[in-house]
Chain A
Amino acid sequence: MQHTRFKKSTYLMRPVNVVSQNGTTVTSYTELPGSHVDKFWYAPILDQASFALSGFAVGNSYDIGTSTGSPPNPIRISNLNQTFDKIVDLFGQSKLYNAVLGRLKGTGSSLTADASRCQDLINIIINRFGGTVDLSADGTTMQPQIFVSSTDSVYEYFGNLSINHTSNAAEWILPFYLNVAGQNTYSYYVLALTANGVSGTFKATFLTGSLILPYYPRDTGEVEVKGGDPYPNIPDSDTSGGGGSGTDTSDANPVPMLPSVSAIGTGMCRLYNPTVAQLIDLGAWLWGSGLDLTQLKKIFADPMDVILGCSVFPVSMPTESTPQTIIFGNIDSQISSRVVSSQYMSYDLGQVDITSYYNSYLDFAPYTKMQLFLPFIGMKTINVDEFMSTASVTKKIGVTYSIDLLSGACVAHVYLNVGSTSTLLYEFGGTCNTQIPLNSRDYTATVQSLLGIVGGSAAAGMAAFMLPEAIPAVVGAAGVVGGMVMNAAKNTIASKPTVEHAGGIGGSTGIMGSRKAYLIIERPNLCHPENQEHFTGYPGFLYRTVNQLNGYTKFINFELQNIHATEPELEEIKEWFTVKGVLL
């Protein structure tokens, strides 16, 4: 059952048991508590299920007892106007425009439907709510029926007047119903206590029923307060989370294999590995009388188009076992040269141990930083946390290059090695060859490429002095020691700039740069006083009893059990153990 709360909280509806004067308990009626003296009935705002549970159904009646002589009078309101006031106060004048209050005084034991005796009541109704009242009698049961309408043409049947058939006229009050404004169907309940014939059995009858809960926007400026759950479609809060397995596995991610398809094997081009002397001979053959252009395939507009590229690589290339003569297009130059056997090759630069210097959090970010210089690529910042060894795990960092001997492109594979397992973590690309220009086009392209690298380096150089990394400062970490303010390590590190140790290195610049890969590891320089552990201890975050500990101890939280101390003493104990620290 939904409760309607109004401005005056005393009007909270609730189901109550009402005992009629003959002792019969009538349930499922709601009662409006309040300051009025007499209780009065009004239509209970219950849902269909409540009706069903309570045994009530539309049109059915509920026997509330049998009168014997003096009829029971469970309902009595002596002050009609007071009742009206309550109704208006609760639901608002404009919304409550239909109500029935019936009062009939009967004489003797016969039912009398005397409209005139209801006239005063009818007048009150008209005066308060408008509309008209048509009082007609039910021919069968002699129970007067009352229709009340808010308009001139529509009459709504309210129900029967209840009748007291004794001379001790009781004031029966029919319950009102509440009509929801604007509804196409009338949503109301009527609980009529009627006299059923002359036997004096009084029944409670639900005459109509509809289950729209009437909430009334107040027209007096008061805020409408709705009852119930304002978020009916939002799931209720509940406990969640926790109970993770704490286990996971990592998939193998080794350094990739070289591509299997080589341009060399397609027959469209060939890659030679001549010595300098052989190249000189080839040049002499090309520019001398050795090359017969008439024999050159007509597919070449320019004989130099035969040469796809000539460059210097910083590696020893894989070659076929038997040297061969250089075939220039379709012309044999008769100049012998080694032949490169594969377009792609890998070159392993080896592994480096990343030892743990402090065996503590100081070995990790943000305290320790690591940069990796890769030949022909430049300086790269890598995550020290991924490669730093711990007291229980030894880690190494390895670098392998994959090189395309046709284009000069190279990829540096940076991997983590733990035991026998290698895991690829980073890949960086670059160019590792130096072009040997064969004509003006080649030379221009080489210079332009070089300018781009240099320009990029200059820009990188200007940006080399970078702002400090955004390391959150430790709040309250500055301690005053003898007048000297000392910063926590994080603040010290946060105040230092990050410096680029190299700009873009590739191609022609790369071959002049370092050909060795190296790591720059910047570690904090710990200020460690003697016996610090005795005066401040070190972090533990462990569950322990006091008996298990010795030396300086401070708890995050501490449970006092079975201490027969006073409350101030207990507070002091807790302060020692959680704020000041104790020596055990």
Chain B
Amino acid sequence: MRIQFYKNNSDPEVLTKDIVLLRDGQGNIIGNYDGFLKEKSSIVSPSFLIETTDTGEEFPWARINYFFVPLWGRYYYITDVTVVRTHLYQITGRVDVLMSFRTELGACSGIVANNENDWNMYLDDGSCRVYQNPHTFVKVFPNWFGNEQIALAVAGAGSPTTP
């Protein structure tokens, strides 16, 4: 079973991983190997045996952390590398569901809770933090009671009459 080994440079939460095929000094891909499954191996957490030849380059287990099984169409994190004996390595992995199904996931939909670029800042999700010292602003109205005048109220119509 052909297995392609990679160096994964991305965080597990990344949907489309930045993975690099191993190449030699001349640029030739050296990350493809044929492995065979251990008995009763799970597709979700498979375990492969990789055997290298006496004359070939040693298995670059120190430079890989990721692999792809084309037959299954799945990508895997390498969770363990066990040296069974010289030239025989047991590679154990766990499926990366995001990378494996990234194409199909693109068409899936739902209600977004949080997003880096698509948001409505008038929704309060309680996630913000504020300092203990608030900002205080004073806004003064442009007009004010700037005069002082006397009002004298007297009884009567204001017309002198003959008593």
A contact residues vs B (CB 8 Å cutoff): 267-276, 279, 282, 294-297, 300, 305-317, 324, 326-332, 337, 339-340, 347-354, 357-362, 367, 375-376, 390, 399, 405-406, 432-433, 436, 474, 477, 486-490, 492-493, 496, 511, 515-528, 533-534, 536-566, 568-569, 572-573, 576-578, 580-584
Contact = CB atoms under 8 A, between A and B. Distances in A.
Nearest to A562: B104
Q: Which 10 A-B pairs have CB atoms at the shortest separation, nearest pair first?
A: A551-B116, A537-B114, A360-B121, A558-B110, A314-B145, A538-B119, A350-B142, A308-B153, A516-B144, A515-B145
Nearest to B14: A583
B141 A516 contact: yes
B136 A521 contact: yes
Nearest to B140: A518
A390 B155 contact: no
Contacts of B117: 533, 549-551
Interface of B: 10-11, 13-16, 43-44, 95, 97-98, 100-101, 104-161, 163
A516 B118 contact: no
A543 B120 CA distance: 12
A474 B126 contact: yes
Contact of B151 (A272, A330, A569): A272
A539 B120 contact: yes
Contacts of A558: 108-110
Given A327-B159, A569-B44, A583-B13, A362 B150 contact: no
Given A329-B154, A550-B117, A560 B108 contact: yes
B97 A313 contact: no
Chain A residues touching B, majority SS: mixed
A105 B152 CA distance: 124
Contacts of B124: 361, 539
A538 B114 contact: yes
Contact of B160 (A330, A554, A583): A330
A394 B106 CA distance: 39
B111 A525 contact: no
A316 B120 CA distance: 50
Given A267-B157, A515-B144, A581-B13, A553 B112 contact: yes
Contacts, number: 361
17 contacts: A271-B153, A307-B153, A312-B149, A330-B161, A350-B142, A352-B141, A361-B122, A376-B145, A433-B151, A488-B129, A522-B135, A522-B136, A533-B116, A538-B121, A542-B112, A548-B118, A559-B108
A542 B111 contact: yes
A272 B114 contact: no
Contact of B113 (A361, A526, A541, A564): A541
B98 A545 contact: no
Contacts of A548: 118
Contacts of A306: 154-156
Interface centre among B124, B136, B156 (most CB of A within 10 A): B156
Given A271-B153, A317-B151, A584 B15 contact: yes
A485 to B, nearest CB: 11
B125 A546 contact: no
A515 B100 CA distance: 71
A489 B104 contact: no
Nearest to A479: B129
A548 B122 CA distance: 21
Contacts of B104: 561-564
A546 B44 contact: no
A518 B147 CA distance: 18
Contact of B130 (A310, A350, A527): A527
B44 A544 contact: no
Given A541-B113, A551-B117, A582 B98 contact: yes
Interface centre among B15, B128, B135 (most CB of A within 10 A): B128
B129 A486 contact: yes
Nearest to A436: B150
Nearest to A360: B121
Given A349-B143, A358-B121, A540-B112, A525 B101 contact: no
Contact of A310 (B16, B107, B151): B151
B97 A572 contact: yes
Given A399-B141, A551-B115, A272 B130 contact: no
